[in-house]
Chain A
């Protein structure tokens, strides 16, 4: 829907986490549809505050008229990025994929350096916030450890995403083992960063180059009868929405039609092939923090449906608040206060539930919430695997 469909009802404003805590950001209505009326391709963009939007997409989920304020702002961010020099932090985070490849290769050194005082000082100089520890690189990436086999009829091409590959390959291995236990073949297709970090840092060209490579690679697997399964909700949103939308990647529709969220896929298997995962009792009380981009995927909360099948598990859904980190957003010094305030609020609401641990699909949400609360934060798949008795074997 065009910005002209906006009826100025301000429901998006009520839902904007940044607007709540940062007076410098005029909110999704003004930054989106209102300002759009005054934006012209022939004029240089002057409104630096567009960069304060964290692209959580809560405004889009709330709009009763189908207007997409975040999408309008995202386009304004790209234009701003094209016309203005990028800061060091923006450049680094846009190139997170290459940075992480380097980080993993030198993991023992890189991790130690990132934790030192000098390391933190250098980060701060570059405009990077250090209020929560930087995630630790894993020396052995997921790509480096898993070999694929192929005998079963149902085949999955796993789009694991940078977070699992570089920081938490153990979760990736668990996912693969779980799918294999359902008699599914899992392969790891050649893949690159989904492109979202580049997009979020105003670098559309870089994002498109990642996306083009991914589409070319994944589309071979779709043709060969594979279903694509992603687990990072932000990667998923990018594959399904942004490739076809702002990035205009040819062939993206085919990828979108054949990609599934991991938990959505497992639910589909349960419905279609009548697999019955032998869920054993897990006695835990969990607070399920819903990542903004899972909401934006518009598939409901499939992991919540799955966790309902686990006996003994109590899981409180919390979906009203953004954790504040938004991938690389909160790691930028200018957004540090926003991220801290939003995160603190989510943590206090989680603590109110009396839950013993947090569960969230998104790696960056977990990083933020575990870092700020001192509680454990799990991927839903870790809980499923605990219930199914699946362990990570290297």
Chain B
């Protein structure tokens, strides 16, 4: 029994789920999104990795193995999805720089470079090689960021420390939303008389006004300023999540928090409803179609048992990369752990193969053969498959 009937229910509030949900809402459908908790996107750098295998991301995709699900998305859809994404985030005051023509580099908190495609505008000025002259600002007591790592790798880097009065990422970021705090920070920076070309700051420049804050600092110091993504709590990841979430809601989507799906109602080849154990008693939501975007192991979509891997919501058949011995490489930092290929195999319409139901679509990191780390296809893959699965879902409903 359900109180409200939706056209589509999305399971999972990550980048893939929110992209699919917002796209379907934009088509005039009644969409709800249910989620157990907040997504791993909040822990990410906020950068949109499309494919890091080559300087040209589209070319990189073309060279991915044949069974990679990226091949199911046309390059037109990938382009469209990323364009849409950039427009959405610009409207949410968190513009993204870059394009599909070529990948960019972002300086990491340990002084290495990360290859990505689109970056938040706050990382636009991130150096592209180790010779650039940068001055790093860190904050007294902030234990999640050590400029020493970067300085050991950069010949022309120096640092100074600002006392923000608080020493946590969240606390400092919240303070930056206050104009007086920002002004004091800028005045202090001016007094430092830095001669370096660029100023680097760990990613704590505000909760949602980061783009405006960085612009103001750049204007006053007359030189580029950029954020360096930190370990969680990661502000750029949270801004990405907030932007996509607010956009989904503005399009008319409804979000159900604290909704781990514990049961499914089915008739014949249709899934009718998903059920959650909410406070007190089970609650169910009906829909005509469902999109599964629960992510892989960390996101909570997949669970590894001793000898098998299960998909937690619908118990869909999971592609398991051989026996348990084949799941892991001997080298911990290897990119070839077999487990990275586990997931749901889908056909060209993003329906799971060998599936008993017709009205379910799958997108994002839970797809089999993704190998997100190895191929450097993270949020970009989620955005592309999110939109592609949503298109299939719309065709199905019509």
Contact = CB atoms under 8 A, between A and B. Distances in A.
Contacts of A20: 170-171, 174
B280 interface: yes
A64 B232 CA distance: 14
Contact of A241 (B2, B40, B168, B279): B279
B238 A19 contact: no
Interface stretch (A196-204, A263-271, A371-379): A263-271
B37 A19 contact: no
A272 B281 CA distance: 18
A61 B257 contact: yes
A356 interface: no
A244 B254 CA distance: 29
Given A241-B279, A299-B283, A320 B242 contact: yes
Given A13-B233, A64-B299, A241-B280, A317 B249 contact: yes
Contacts of A240: 279-280
Contacts of A268: 3
The SS class assigned to the A binding surface is helix
B37 A62 contact: yes
Nearest to B35: A64
A301 B3 CA distance: 12
B280 A256 contact: yes
B168 A295 contact: no
Interface residues on A, range: 35 or more
Contacts of B256: 298-300
Nearest to B281: A257
B280 A259 contact: yes
A156 B174 CA distance: 45
Nearest to B2: A271
B42 A14 contact: yes
A216 interface: no
B4 interface: yes
Nearest to A301: B254
A66 interface: yes
Nearest to A264: B3
Interface in A236-259: 237, 239-241, 244, 256-257, 259
B249 A11 contact: no
A300 B3 CA distance: 11
Given A20-B174, A64-B36, A241-B280, A9 B257 contact: no
A65 to B, nearest CB: 7
B43 A295 contact: no
Contacts of A320: 242
B304 interface: no
Interface in A203-240: 237, 239-240
Interface string B279-301: 11101000000000000000110
Nearest to A252: B280
A13 B258 CA distance: 17
Nearest to A22: B171
B85 interface: no
Interface string B225-251: 000000011000010001000000100
A170 interface: no
A10 interface: yes
A296 interface: yes
A13 B170 contact: yes
A257 B174 CA distance: 40
B218 interface: no
Nearest to B295: A64
B170 A14 contact: yes
A240 B232 CA distance: 33
B70 interface: no
A9 B232 contact: yes
A14 to B, nearest CB: 5
B37 A64 contact: yes
A296 B279 CA distance: 8
A219 B249 CA distance: 39
B40 A256 contact: no
A304 interface: yes
A355 interface: no
Interface in B18-61: 32, 36-40, 42-43
Nearest to A238: B279
Contacts of A241: 279-280
Contacts of A300: 32, 254-256
Nearest to A21: B174
Interface in A267-321: 267-268, 270-272, 295-302, 304-305, 317, 319-320
A295 B37 CA distance: 12
Given A19-B170, A268-B3, A66 B36 contact: yes
Which of B38, B166, B276 has the most chain A CB atoms closer than 10 A to its own CB? B38
B259 interface: yes
A15 interface: yes
B4 A271 contact: yes
B386 interface: no
Contacts of A257: 280-281
B254 A271 contact: no
A272 B165 CA distance: 56
Given A240-B279, A257-B280, A257-B281, A61 B258 contact: yes
B308 interface: no
Given A62-B38, A256-B280, A298 B242 contact: no
A60 interface: yes
B278 interface: yes
Contacts of A144: none
B260 interface: yes
B279 A256 contact: yes
Interface in A341-387: 345
B170 A11 contact: no
Contacts of A13: 168, 170, 233
B238 A14 contact: yes
A63 interface: yes
B1 to A, nearest CB: 8
Contacts of A299: 256, 278-279, 283
Contact of B281 (A9, A256, A305): A256
B231 to A, nearest CB: 9
Contact of A298 (B3, B38, B238, B283): B283
Nearest to A257: B281
Contacts of A27: 168, 170
A85 interface: no
14 contacts: A9-B40, A11-B42, A11-B43, A13-B170, A27-B168, A27-B170, A61-B257, A297-B279, A298-B258, A298-B259, A299-B279, A300-B32, A300-B255, A317-B249
Interface of A: 9-11, 13-16, 19-21, 23, 27, 60-66, 237, 239-241, 244, 256-257, 259, 264, 267-268, 270-272, 295-302, 304-305, 317, 319-320, 345
Given A20-B170, A241-B280, A271-B1, 4 more contacts: A237-B279, A296-B258, A298-B259, A299-B283
3 smallest beta-carbon distances between A and B, as pairs: A256-B280, A298-B278, A240-B280
